[in-house]
Amino acid sequence: MSESAVSNEQRLTAQTNDPSFEDVWDELKWRGLIHVSTDEAELKQLLAGDPITYYCGFDPTAASLHLGHLVQLLTMRRLQLAGHKPLGLVGGSTGLIGDPRPTAERTLNTRETVAGWVRSLQEQVSTYLSFEGENAARLVNNLDWTAPLSAIDFLREIGKHFRVGTMLKKDAVSARLNSDEGISYTEFSYQILQGLDFLELYRQYGCVLQSGGSDQWGNLTSGTELIRKVEGVHVHAIGTPLITNSDGTKFGKSEGNAIWIDAALTSPYAFYQFWLNTDDSDVVDRLKVFTFLTRDEIGEYERKVKEEPFKREAQRRLAYDVTALVHGAEATEAVIAASEALFGQGDLAGQDKATLEAALRELPNTTTAASTTIAQALVDTGLTKSLSEARRAVSQGGVYVNNAKVEDGESAVGDALLPGGMVVLRRGKKTLAGVFVE
């Protein structure tokens, strides 16, 4: 086993479910992770009994998973900690199609692109599940059983069990039928493919539970119904809620941009800041879903939010735990150190260069020549509206370069470079910008 794999197993070993709950079902309910499910009483009994095999699927429609997927990964991990056996499915075949979006047809990616994304997502899924012990996780790819299947066999053996009237009633399908775009047969058939996945995993591994987002409920039940018709067996599905903020906006979205778990797409600094900026009304629910804190510990943070919200202790704990979970403790500590240094509570020159650069990229910033004056850089970054305002701010003692007060606004930014050719501009106590020197 590689050093990184050993390190990951050590991190996973530190995770535990909350022993104050009677069983994992009760904990999932308390954490708000059950929005819809098949028979609740049967599920509770099933999960409290002997180990079962369960799965969750992830389609490679992008190069990385995002926070919505993280909900599924942590739900899978909690079930594994309860002794059950996870199958992490990365959809090499369903990723070539994509599940129906509410308003428009997906762009079909090339087979080569999808294959590359499959590998990336498999690597990501692997970091959240343990591949050791009696209930070790397995990775599976639905391309393995769909690629050899002919169109005739697919229609005869699988398609005959689906009724078009039922398929049309699925939320994702009906939404598209009522849109201007309509829906292609390609995306219409997605629910059949996902149903086939559950059937194959039932046959190969005895899998009896699938989890997914509640917006996938139609696809989840396609599998439970197919297994009932073909095998005469009742299996189960869990739909987790779509996480939204208290104002109703979709969680993890900012101006249409997802929060990715790949550091190359969302830097650890931006990731940490996202959690740090969680609203007081949302932070307790986020602690329940995204951390392994016990309900007593979360109850204490809930008290602090009510009594001392200005300290933002709950947000800082949330930001630390989730960033460490996704990017590791070392990267998280580097982010915190850089954040503090930006506001004068540390040595900027001693910060990790990549972390500091990521932080400055998240701020208003400009790329300029070393000879550019500080006054001009203030204008270029938007910290002031004009050169006269910039010079006035300097003369009033309100401008800082790398946390040192600026005495001469006509001095060059190149005279105060940090490693990597960066400069931190600050106006007043809190207004920051970055300068990158070519």
300: helix, strand or coil? helix
For tokens 């067996």, what's the residue?
233
Four-residue CA torsion sign, 332, 335, 339, 345: positive
Spatial separation of the C-alpha atoms in residues 215 and 97, rounded to whole Å: 17
Residue 300 makes CB contacts below 8 A (sequence gap 6+) with none
Q: Please work out, in degrees rounded to the nearest 5, the angle formed at the alpha carbon of residue 165 by the alpha carbons of 178 and 177.
A: 10
For tokens 């997914």, what's the residue?
212
Spatial separation of the C-alpha atoms in residues 93 and 402, rounded to whole Å: 51
Cβ-in-10-Å burial (0-12, 13-18, 19+) of 412 comes to middle
Q: Please work out, in degrees rounded to the nearest 5, the angle formed at the alpha carbon of residue 128 by the alpha carbons of 126 and 133.
A: 80
Smallest Cα–Cα separation from 342: which of 411, 273, 263, 262?
273
Q: What is the DSSP string of 420-432?
A: TTEEEEEETTTEE
- Tokens of residue 286, six digits: 């986020």
- Tokens of residue 235, six digits: 């299996």
324: helix, strand or coil? helix
**Backbone dihedral region for residue 30 (phi beyond 0: left; psi -120 to 50: alpha; all else: beta):** alpha
> Annotated binding residues for L-tyrosine, as ranges?
55, 190, 194
What letter would DSSP give residue 306?
H
> Annotated binding residues, as ranges?
55, 190, 194, 253
Smallest Cα–Cα separation from 99: which of 249, 213, 229?
213
Q: Regarding beta strands 422-427 and 431-437, do their DSSP bridges make them parallel or antiparallel, or are they unpaired?
A: antiparallel
> Annotated binding residues for ATP, as ranges?
253
| SS3 per-residue string spanning 143-156 | HHHHCCCCHHHHHH
Smallest Cα–Cα separation from 56: which of 209, 243, 236, 202?
209
- Tokens of residue 70, six digits: 């993280």
For residue 325, how far is the Cα from the chain centroid? 11
